[in-house]
Amino acid sequence: MDGETAHNIESECGVEKFLELRTSLKDRSFRPPPARQRAIPKANGKARYLGIATIRDQVAQASVKLVLEPIFEAEFHPCSYGVPSEPPGS
């Protein structure tokens, strides 16, 4: 979206750029820019819109997923597809 890739950031700016992202996530100052929108034509003539996030936003999303996923996955049965093993408050 913004022309940056993980490889470019790592090779040109170093890991410090990702550490800045970490700091801004920890102090809650991270504000992702609006995602670029791309229209994908559908067979019926309409369009489906796809949002393309920046690399920093993608890294932030992946980081949050790594933290939250184990917490919530512990509550689910392997066959539940998102249904908690016990109702809340049990």
Dihedral-angle region of residue 76 (phi above 0 means left; psi in -120 to 50 means alpha; beta otherwise): beta
Is there a contact between 17 and 59 (Cβ–Cβ < 8 Å)? no
CA atoms of 37 and 25, how far apart (whole Å): 24
Query: Using 50, 70 and 90 to split pLDDT, how confident is the model at 90?
Result: low
Tell me the whole-structure pTM to 2 decimals: 0.62
What would the pLDDT profile of 42-60 be if each residue is shown by its tens digit?
999 999 999 988 888 888 8
